A and B are shown apart, each in its own frame.
Chain A
Amino acid sequence: MSTTETEEQRDGGDAQDGKDLGAAGAQLSTAPREELTGGPSLSVVGWVRWFWRQLTSMRVALILLFLLSLGAIPGSLIPQNSVDELKVRTFKETHTTVSPIYEKLQFFDVYSSVWFSAIYILLFVSLIGCIVPRSWQFVGQLRGRPPGAPGRLTRLPAYTTWRTHTEPEQVREAALAMLKKRRFRAHTVGDAVAAEKGYLREAGNLVFHIALIVMLVAFAAGQLFKSEGGKLIVEGDGFSNTLTQYDDFRSGSLFRTDNLVPFTFKLDRFTGTYEKSGPQRGTPRTFEAGVTYSQGGGPDKKSVIQVNKPLVIDGTKVYLLSHGYAPVVTVRDGRGKVVFNGAVPLLPIDNNITSTGAIKVMDGYRDKDGKKDQLGFQAFFVPTFGGAGKGTMFSQFPGLEFPVIALTGYHGSLGVNAGLPQNVYQLDTAKMTQFKDAKGQILKARLLPGEKMTLPGGAGSITFEKEVKEWASFQISQQPGNGWALTGAIAAIAGLVGSLFIQRRRVWVRAVTGEDGVTVVEMAGLGRSESPKLPEELGDLALTLNAEAPTAPDSSDVPAEGAEK
Chain B
Amino acid sequence: MTLAAATNENLAHISNVLIYSSMAVYTLAFFAHIAEWVFGSRSKVGRTAAALTGAGSAAAPSVAVRVKQAGGTAVLDRPKVITRSAAGTRDVPDGPGAAGGTEKGDLYGRIAVSLTVLAFLVEAGGVVARAMSVQRAPWGNMYEFSITFSTVAVGAYLGFLLARKNVRWMGLLLVTTVLLDLGIATTWLYTDSDQLVPALHSYWLWIHVSTAIFCGAVFYLGAVGTLLYLFRDSYENKLARGVKPGSFATSVLERLPAAASLDKFSYRINAAVFPLWTFTIIAGAIWAGDAWGRYWGWDPKEVWSFITWVAYACYLHARATAGWKGRKAATLALIAFGCWLFNYYGVNIFVTGKHSYAGV
Contact = CB atoms under 8 A, between A and B. Distances in A.
Interface of A: 1-8, 10, 14, 17-18, 29, 31, 34, 58-59, 61-62, 65-66, 68-69, 72-73, 75-77, 80, 82-83, 110-111, 154-162, 219, 228, 271, 273, 275-276, 278-280, 283-288, 306-310, 317, 319, 321, 475, 477, 482, 485-486, 489, 492-493, 496-497, 500-501, 521, 523, 529-530, 535-536, 538-540, 542-543, 546-547, 550-551, 553, 555
Interface of B: 1-4, 6-7, 54-61, 63-68, 76-89, 91, 93-94, 165-167, 192, 194-195, 197-199, 201-202, 204, 257-258, 260-262, 264-265, 271-272, 274-275, 278-279, 282, 285-287, 289-300, 303-304, 306-307, 310-311, 313-314, 316-318, 320-324, 332, 339, 347, 351
B62 to A, nearest CB: 8
A69 B82 contact: no
A142 to B, nearest CB: 21
A306 B204 CA distance: 14
Contact of A8 (B57, B67, B167): B57
Contacts of B84: 6-7, 10, 155-159
Contact of B291 (A34, A59, A308, A489): A308
Contacts of A538: 81
Residue among B3, B59, B65 with the most chain A CB within 10 A?
B65
30 contacts: A5-B61, A6-B85, A6-B91, A10-B84, A18-B87, A34-B321, A62-B317, A62-B321, A62-B324, A65-B314, A66-B310, A69-B314, A80-B298, A83-B298, A111-B298, A155-B84, A273-B1, A286-B2, A308-B290, A309-B290, A475-B293, A477-B294, A493-B275, A493-B279, A496-B278, A530-B85, A530-B89, A542-B65, A543-B63, A546-B79
Contacts of A156: 84
Contacts of B79: 160-162, 521, 523, 539, 542-543, 546, 551
B198 A308 contact: yes
Contact of A1 (B1, B3, B166, B298): B166
Contacts of B60: 5, 7
B187 to A, nearest CB: 19
A413 to B, nearest CB: 38
A14 B88 contact: yes
B300 A485 contact: no
Contacts of A17: 87
A493 B282 contact: yes
Shortest 5 CB-CB distances between A and B: which pairs?
A: A539-B63, A14-B87, A76-B303, A34-B322, A69-B310
A551 B80 CA distance: 12
Contacts, number: 249
Nearest to A553: B76
A77 B86 contact: no
Given A308-B290, A530-B264, A538-B81, A157 B297 contact: no
Residue among B61, B84, B197, B324 with the most chain A CB within 10 A?
B84
Contact of B202 (A10, A34, A308, A317): A308
Contacts of A160: 63, 79-82
Contact of B298 (A58, A82, A310): A82
A475 B282 CA distance: 22
B86 A157 contact: yes
Contacts of B289: 482
A486 B278 CA distance: 13
Given A8-B58, A535-B63, 15 more contacts: A1-B257, A66-B311, A75-B303, A77-B351, A159-B82, A219-B296, A286-B3, A307-B199, A308-B199, A538-B81, A539-B63, A542-B65, A543-B63, A543-B64, A543-B79
Nearest to B316: A500
A154 B311 CA distance: 39
Contacts of B274: 496, 500
Contacts of A489: 282, 285
Given A284-B198, A535-B81, A1 B165 contact: yes
Given A34-B322, A271-B1, A278-B6, A493 B310 contact: no
B356 to A, nearest CB: 13
Nearest to B169: A1
Given A2-B261, A83-B298, A500-B274, A158 B82 contact: yes
Nearest to B66: A543
A4 B93 CA distance: 8
B22 to A, nearest CB: 26
A58 B264 CA distance: 21
A310 to B, nearest CB: 6
Nearest to B285: A489
